[in-house]
Each structure stands twice: as C-alpha cells, then as structure tokens.
C-alpha cells in the first residue's frame, strides 16, 4: 500500500504531540483500521472533531517514527499498539537499518491489549456471482492483464483445493487420491528384475520396418548356478501378437545379477508394422533383463552399451526391458526412469489435456531417495503409448514405476466441492464452494509473499525491532522460493535479512505460502511463543544466522505444497550457537527439526516432535545432514521426545516407510545425543550414517519395524562413535534391535546398554562384524550390557520413563527429565 502523505498541518501536530510525549521515558503510537496515516497516531481512537487519531497502517507507524527520529534521538522505547481488525498488505512492509531501535530505545509493534490485529498478505475477492450450477465466479482484470497470479485460495480461513485429478481424499489425503506411474522410461543400465516365476511376462510395442528373420540379442545378468542351473536356455521365450513362441536358447550365467552381457539367440520371424511382443518365463529361473536388440544383419554385434550401425539394407530394433506396456509378475521390479517423461496407465490422462497452459504434475518421485515432491509442467500426452512428457526446473529425479502423482490446475479437473480454478488468460476465477462457503464468505487470494521484511546489511543490521501478539495470514509462494528438489527454502512471510537483537513473540501465523519466519544472516534474535500452522512450506528457517533463540513455538500442519521442509530448519555455514528448545512440532510432511550443513555448537533440546515425515521417505524427525567428512559440530540433541516418525512413500498403492527418530545422516559428526525418548519410529530410533565422534548416551529407543539402532559406517568414514547407557527395546520380535556395518574398536565403543524384547531370549542383531550376539560380545562390544525388562512406567499410554527399580539404573542410566519437554507457560521463559 502507498502511505498517505501528511498535510503540513498534520506534520506540525504530529511533531508537537511527539515532543510533548518526549518528556516521558516511553512513546506509544496507535494503529487502527479506522485510522489515518495523516494523523498523529498518539490517540487510541479518532477524536470528536475527526481530525486526529490513530494511524491506519504499520507502514504509517514506521514513517511516523522516521519523522520522529529526524527531530533527534528517540526519547525512550517506542511501542506501536495495533488495534484489532484486518489490515490487508498488498505491498511488503520494509524496514531499513535506519528504522532500528537501540538497546535503550527498542521499537515494538504489538497487539493492543485484548485485541487481535490480523495482517493479511492478500486481497478479498469481491463481486462473486453464483451460477446456475452453484459455482462461484469472479472476473479479475488484473489477472487477465498479467499483473496478479495466485496458487492458493482461502474461504473463511479454509484452504481450498486447486482443481486436480484425481480428487483429493479428505479422509486419507496422504495415501489416496493419486495416479501412479505405470512404467518409468529407461535406457541401458536400467532394467527389470525379480521375474523368476513361471508365468511372469512383459508385453512391448514393437515397430518393425520390414518383415524378416531377426536375430535376437539379449542384454541381461544372471547367477542361477547356486539354484541348480547355469543356463536359462529354453526357459524363456518371445512371441508376437499371441502367436507361436520362440525360445531364447543362449542365456548362460554372467557371473552376477548386475553383470550385464549381450548374448546372441536364434532368430525370430517379425512381420512389418506395429505389433505386440511378449517375453515370458516358461519354466522359472531368474534373469535381470536390460535390453533386447533385433537385427537382420548377421554380422552385427553389440558392445556393452555401444550399438554400432548395421550394414546397408539391414535393420535394427532396440527395446529397453523396462519399456513394457503391460506385465504380470508378483515380484517384478523395474529399474528405470527419465526425468522428463513417464508412461501412465492407459486412460489415466486424456490426450486433450496435453500442454494445457499452467497445468502442473505433482510427482512424489522415487528416483532420489523419495525425499521430495516435484512440481513440473504438463507436456505432451501420447494416448497410444501412454507416454507423458513433463518439463521445468524441478525435473531433477528419474520418474519410476509406481511413483504417485496428481495433475493440478486444469479447468477440466474442476469437479469437486472445495476446488477452484483460475484462468490466467481470461482472469476468470471459478469455485465449487464447499459446505459453508458462499458469495457472502470472505474469500482471499494471496498478493505478497513477504508481509514484512528487513533489508539490513552486514555492517548495518536491523536492530532492536520486535513484533508481539500479531496475527499474520495469507501469503503467496512461487516456484522460485528454493523448495524444489533437496532445497529447504529461502523465504518467509516475515523475512529478516541481517537482523540483530530482534524478536517475534506470541504471534500467530496461518494460511501461508512460505515459511512463517526466515532469518538470513545476522543473529542474536528470538522467535518465541508463536503458533504456526497451515503452511505451504515450513515453519521457521535460519540461514547462516547465529546465536538465535527459537523456543516455545507450536508448529504443525506444514508442508502442504512443498514437502522437503521442516518445522525448524538451521542451514548453512555460520548457523552457529543457536538454541531450538521447548517447541511442539507435529504433522509435518518431512522434518520436525533439521540441521542442513549447518554450523557449530547448536543445541536442540526439550522439544516434542510427533507425527513427522508423513509424505516423504529416508528421513528423520530430528535430522542432520553434513557433507564435510571430518567436521565435528560440537552440537547437542538432548531431552527431546520423538514419536511416530513415519517416513512414508509408496510403490503403486503399496506403502513403503523409512523414518528415523534421530538421524545423523551423511557425515554428521561431533554430535552428543543424550536423554531423548524415541518411540514408534518406522525404521528405528537412531541412525548413525558416516560421521565421526558422535556420542549416543542415556536415550530410550522403543518400537520400530526394521531395526531400533543402526550404525552404518558409511564410506568407512566413521571413528570415535560411543553408544552407552541406552535402553533399546522392541515389543515385536521381528525387527532387529541393532544393525551395523563393518566396525571395530576404532570405529565404535558400545557398552552398558539395556536391550529387551519380551518375545525373545537374547538381542536380535545383524552386523558385518559379527554373526550373532555372542560373536558381537566376543568382539568386545556390549560386554557389560544386559538383557532385561527396563520397567517402563506406563507404556500403554506412551510413558516410557523408567520405574525406580529398573535394571538400567545399575548400568549408569540417569532418569530423563520429561516434565520440561514442550512449550512452557510465559512465566517459565528463560
């Protein structure tokens, strides 16, 4: 918004009033929806004459303070009290270094006592008309003119759904409402395995340039000798259009399933034109198939992945094994995938949807650890072959068989209550209203991404500026926000660049397109007692910023659009000495708290982190990623309660899960992990990948589905690891209590832990360094550990504190303080 210029008389009035106030230690200004930026701002409400009263905007208050500073130093602390009501922000409110307070004269923008001011980064959609079929329609000229575009819409603070196919399932939005990649498109090095059953088959479309007898070359890997045969000759066959099958008669073992070689087989008769070719396993036995080549050149011979030209007058046809159009195989697994194309199930997407402007494909890819969702543009659709092409900067991972996806922002997909579609060319907005939403509702579309920003520099930071008790809702997101692929984001509704000694306290953030708060650079700031929910991205993001305090926040329902996000994110070198404590973080698409190649001496403590990693895989509720193989962070993760780290993905409709409670990924080193309680994690409670000098002590890890503790020694990089005085427990006897890679005394010291599973008589482990528990102890590990019931206080109600008589205490275990976990009352602030 453009501030209203002050009249000369109003300026004189403002100066006189502020000068009079200057005799006091503090200055109070007021902002109200019925105010006027031409007034003094020193009155709570307009005066009887109607010529003075509160200011109208927070920008107006900023400008009033600027004028005040122009008269000399501030006389004392300045408080801007903002009356209740809605303040629509269509232009980001920016604070510059000159807008700083000082330690003696801080500047605070706060809610007027007992009232709720809302800063809304959007615009109300007016002049909605109801059509005969019950839809709501509005014409938006600014959209048609290209001056406004939005990807979110809210009706009475309810997030509406951009028109999509298939429709979202509100009862199970994470598991249902998806299509699935029928086949990834591949090339050499991809392929198909687990096709060892009698009756397994795959069908291909083959275009034959001329009828003839075609020599069959097969590229494959096999190691059947341990199963009683060393040649698959005659056990599989090829057939055309359901006709007579021609056995493949030369398929000897290749010395390994992954050792691909070409083998020449007898010719097959192929008629000219397009046909359906079937490979079938007739007698059982394994092959990993990479490709087929058919040629009428008797002298032609392939070399590895190099295919020389055939002689003049002859023909060559190449089929990649993973490019089948239909198959039967209970265990069949295809390794394939292009970044910009995939094969759909026939009929999933109508060909007329191809290249629709603005149409997006949202793909939960599996080609890169199933860690993020891609949002890509919809391109060509070949109805005959089922090939769908996509494009855009987020095309970063191979799209593979079974990946779930949906298509969004199509007029033809607008068919369910709660959905909406914006025609960017005409400016027409169409809504199918959900129950309770009508033309009289307040329907808001985002305008700005940053509601408030600071523009400090390293030499001139923004200082001593506070926001307290305010509500911020509705902000936009863009594809350039930095959340694509493995990006964690770089934006926030409140964006503070080079801020120092600033605070955001007791604020509410909801209906957001970006992180609630992003602090880049600077340091010594506090983000406390805020409530953050319904964010298209994440919660709080620190980028290269040090000595910040992030405490007592409630953060939930985040990652609505972008999935590779976190409730609390510390990223980049220089992100040192931060405290993340007493937060309650739950219902996140990925991380609760994560440190991404962060700095030194950070502390993560007394947080409650629950129901995380709801839509992504290979992840942790509290996670650290570090690429430096030798860095020792000196950071601490302690006294956190972590529950239900899911790590969800899928292959078609089959659920896949890989989520850790605490995950020291890659080469994260120098961490102390102590006094944490982790339970019901899908993969395990603790994972140490390849870092050095990590100490894991006095933790309780309860119930997983794969293994409770995992020590990988990734790339043989680990050394100086210590695991001591931990309780490692599973109710289910199927998962392992412990799993390790190759370790020795230089890599690991592990002792005085308590293990137990009620259905077992000894720890169930797997290690590359020991065949079983006895061998593990003989190697010098867990020599003084015990197998005993830890005696939890009330496990049925998730109380995993230990009773006073627990045998863990005799090993040196210390009682864990759970009373102080999670947000504290304001009287408990430190």
Model pLDDT for residues 386-444, shown as the tens digit of each residue? 999 999 999 999 898 899 999 999 999 999 999 999 999 999 999 999 999 999 999 99
Model pLDDT for residues 820-830, shown as the tens digit of each residue? 999 998 644 33
Model pLDDT for residues 788-811, shown as the tens digit of each residue? 999 999 999 999 999 999 999 999
Model pLDDT for residues 703-749, shown as the tens digit of each residue? 999 999 999 999 899 999 999 999 999 999 999 999 999 999 999 99
Model's pTM, two decimal places? 0.85
Task: Look at 179-183, 545-549, 562-566 and tell me which has the smallest mean pLDDT.
Answer: 179-183
User: What does R_g of the chain's alpha carbons equal in angstroms?
Assistant: 32
- In this structure, which topology does domain 188-334 adopt according to CATH? Jelly Rolls (2.60.120)
> What pLDDT, on a 0 to 100 scale, did the predictor assign at position 9?
37
pLDDT confidence tier of residue 615, bands split at 50, 70 and 90: very high
Model pLDDT for residues 287-316, shown as the tens digit of each residue? 999 999 999 999 999 988 889 999 999 999
In this model, does residue 664 exceed pLDDT 60?
yes
Q: Which stretches does DSSP call E strand in 392-459?
A: 404-408, 419-423, 428-431, 443-446, 452-455
pLDDT confidence tier of residue 25, bands split at 50, 70 and 90: confident
pLDDT confidence tier of residue 8, bands split at 50, 70 and 90: very low
SS3 content of the chain, % helix, strand, coil (to 5): 10, 40, 50
pLDDT confidence tier of residue 330, bands split at 50, 70 and 90: confident
| Closest residue by Cα to residue 706 from 659, 774, 672 | 659
> What pLDDT, on a 0 to 100 scale, did the predictor assign at position 27?
97
> What pLDDT, on a 0 to 100 scale, did the predictor assign at position 586?
99
CA distance 296 to 291: 17
| Closest residue by Cα to residue 257 from 285, 282, 277 | 285
> What pLDDT, on a 0 to 100 scale, did the predictor assign at position 186?
67
CA distance 126 to 444: 9
Give the chain's mean pLDDT. Answer: 94
> What pLDDT, on a 0 to 100 scale, did the predictor assign at position 826?
67
Cα-based distances in Å from 410 to 150, 161, 226, 363: 14, 12, 54, 16
Name the 3-class secondary structure at 422. Answer: strand
Residue 453 β-bridge partners:
94, 495
Cα-based distances in Å from 474 to 144, 240, 480, 510, 668: 22, 59, 18, 7, 36
Model pLDDT for residues 525-556, shown as the tens digit of each residue? 999 999 999 999 999 999 999 999 999 999 99
Cα-based distances in Å from 624 to 394, 593, 705: 24, 9, 22
Model pLDDT for residues 256-294, shown as the tens digit of each residue? 988 999 999 999 999 999 999 999 999 999 999 999 999
Quick one: what percent of the chain has pLDDT higher than 70?
Answer: 96
Q: Which residue has the higher pLDDT, 193 or 776?
A: 776
pLDDT confidence tier of residue 489, bands split at 50, 70 and 90: very high
In the chain, what are the domain boundaries?
8-88, 124-140+149-163+414-445, 179-183+338-407, 188-334, 448-605, 616-830
Model pLDDT for residues 191-248, shown as the tens digit of each residue? 888 899 899 999 999 999 999 999 999 999 999 988 888 999 999 999 999 999 999 9
pLDDT confidence tier of residue 520, bands split at 50, 70 and 90: very high
Model pLDDT for residues 81-130, shown as the tens digit of each residue? 999 999 999 999 999 999 999 999 999 999 999 999 999 999 999 989 99
Pairing of strands 754-756, 786-787: parallel
Question: 3-state SS of 302-331?
Answer: CECCECCCCCCCCCEEEEECCCCCEEECCC
In this model, does residue 618 exceed pLDDT 90?
yes
> What pLDDT, on a 0 to 100 scale, did the predictor assign at position 6?
34
Measured at the alpha carbon of residue 661, what is the angle toward residues 657 and 664, in degrees to the nearest 5? 105
pLDDT confidence tier of residue 15, bands split at 50, 70 and 90: very low
Give the residue-averaged pLDDT of 633-658.
96
Give the residue-averaged pLDDT of 35-53.
97
Q: Which CATH superfamily hosts domain 448-605? A: Single-stranded right-handed beta-helix, Pectin lyase-like (2.160.20.10)
> What pLDDT, on a 0 to 100 scale, did the predictor assign at position 18?
41
In this model, does residue 2 exceed pLDDT 60?
no
* Burial readout 345-364 (b: 16 or more C-beta within 10 A, e: otherwise): eeebbeeebbebebbbbbbb
Model pLDDT for residues 596-612, shown as the tens digit of each residue? 998 899 999 999 999 99
Quick one: what percent of the chain has pLDDT higher than 90?
Answer: 88
111 with 469: CB under 8 angstroms?
Answer: yes
In this model, does residue 4 exceed pLDDT 60?
no
Q: Is 642 left (phi over 0), alpha (psi -120 to 50) or beta?
A: beta
């Amino acid at each position: 918004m453009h501030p209203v210029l002050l009249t000369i008389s109003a300026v004189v009035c403002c100066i006189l009033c502020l000068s009079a106030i200057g005799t006091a230690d503090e200055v109070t200004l007021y902002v109200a929806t019925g105010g006027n930026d031409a007034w003094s701002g020193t009155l709570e409400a307009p005066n009887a004459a109607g010529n003075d009263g509160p200011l109208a905007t927070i920008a107006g208050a900023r400008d009033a303070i600027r004028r005040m500073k122009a008269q000399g130093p501030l006389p004392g602390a300045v408080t801007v009290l903002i009356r209740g009501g809605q303040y629509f922000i269509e232009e980001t409110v920016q604070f510059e270094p000159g807008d700083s307070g000082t330690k003696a004269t801080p500047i605070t923008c706060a809610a007027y006592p007992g009232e709720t001011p809302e800063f809304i980064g959007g615009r109300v959609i007016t002049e909605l008309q109801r059509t005969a079929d019950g839809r709501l329609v509005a014409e938006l000229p600014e959209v048609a003119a290209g001056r406004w575009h939005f990807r979110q819409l809210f009706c009475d603070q309810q997030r509406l759904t951009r028109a999509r196919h298939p429709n979202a399932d509100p009862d199970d939005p994470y598991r249902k409402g998806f299509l699935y990649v029928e086949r990834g498109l591949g090339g050499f090095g991809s392929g198909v395995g687990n096709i060892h059953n009698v009756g397994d088959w795959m069908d291909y479309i083959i275009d034959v340039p001329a009828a003839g007898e075609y020599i069959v070359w097969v590229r494959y890997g096999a190691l059947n000798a341990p199963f009683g045969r060393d040649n698959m000759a005659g056990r599989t066959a090829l057939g055309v259009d359901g006709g007579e099958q021609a056995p493949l008669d030369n398929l000897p073992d290749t010395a390994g399933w992954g050792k691909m070689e070409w083998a020449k087989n007898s010719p097959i008769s192929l008629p000219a034109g397009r046909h359906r070719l079937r490979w079938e396993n007739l007698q059982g036995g394994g092959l990993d198939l990479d490709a087929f080549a058919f040629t009428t050149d008797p002298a032609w011979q392939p070399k590895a992945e190099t295919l020389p030209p055939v002689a003049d007058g002859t023909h060559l046809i190449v089929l990649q094994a993973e490019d089948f159009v239909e198959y039967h195989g209970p265990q069949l697994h295809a390794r394939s995938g292009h970044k910009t194309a995939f094969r759909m199930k026939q009929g999933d997407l109508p060909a007329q949807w191809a290249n629709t402007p603005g149409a997006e494909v949202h793909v939960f890819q599996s080609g890169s650890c199933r860690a993020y969702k891609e949002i890509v543009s919809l391109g060509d659709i070949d109805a005959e072959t089922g090939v769908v092409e996509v494009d855009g900067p987020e095309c970063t991972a191979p799209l593979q068989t079974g990946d779930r996806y949906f298509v969004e922002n199509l007029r033809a997909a607008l068919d369910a209550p709660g959905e909406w579609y914006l025609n960017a060319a005409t400016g027409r907005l169409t809504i199918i209203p959900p129950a309770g939403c009508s033309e009289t509702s307040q329907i808001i579309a985002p305008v700005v991404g940053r509601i408030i920003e600071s523009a400090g520099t390293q030499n001139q930071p923004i200082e001593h500026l506070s926001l307290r008790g305010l509500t911020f809702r509705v902000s936009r997101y863009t594809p350039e926000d930095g959340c694509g692929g493995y990006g964690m984001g770089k934006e926030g509704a409140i964006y503070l660049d080079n801020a120092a000694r600033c605070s955001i306290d007791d604020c509410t953030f909801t209906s957001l397109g970006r992180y609630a708060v992003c602090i880049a650079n600077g340091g010594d700031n506090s983000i406390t007692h805020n409530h953050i929910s319904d964010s298209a991205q994440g919660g709080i993001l620190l980028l290269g910023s040090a000595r910040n305090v992030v405490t007592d926040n409630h953060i939930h329902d985040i990652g609505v659009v972008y999935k590779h996000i976190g409730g609390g994110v510390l990223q980049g070198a220089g992100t040192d000495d931060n405290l993340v404590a007493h937060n309650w973080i739950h219902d996140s698409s990925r991380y609760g708290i994560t440190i991404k190649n962060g700095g030194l001496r950070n502390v993560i403590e007394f947080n409650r982190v629950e129901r995380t990693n709801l839509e992504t895989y290979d992840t942790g509720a509290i996670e650290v990623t570090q690429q430096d193989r030798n860095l020792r962070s000196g950071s601490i993760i302690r006294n956190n309660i972590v529950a239900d780290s899911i790590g969800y993905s899928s292959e078609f409709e089959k659920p896949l899960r890989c989520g850790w409670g605490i995950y020291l990924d890659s080469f994260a080193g120098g961490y102390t992990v102590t006094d944490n309680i982790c339970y019901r994690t899908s993969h395990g409670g603790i994972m140490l990948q390849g870092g050095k000098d990590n100490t894991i002590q006095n933790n309780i890890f309860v119930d997983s589905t794969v293994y409770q503790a995992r020590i990988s020694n990734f790339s043989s990089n680990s050394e100086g690891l210590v695991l001591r005085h931990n309780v490692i427990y599973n109710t289910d006897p199927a998962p392992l209590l412990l799993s390790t890679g190759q370790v020795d005394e230089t890599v690991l010291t592990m002792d005085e832990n308590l293990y137990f599973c009620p259905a077992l008589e000894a720890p169930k482990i797997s290690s590359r360094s020991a065949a079983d528990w006895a061998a593990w102890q003989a190697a010098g590990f867990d020599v003084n550990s015990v197998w005993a019931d830890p005696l939890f206080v009330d496990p049925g109600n998730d109380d995993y504190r230990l009773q006073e008589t627990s045998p863990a205490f005799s090993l040196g275990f210390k009682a864990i303080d759970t009373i102080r976990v999670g947000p504290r009352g304001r009287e408990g602030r430190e």
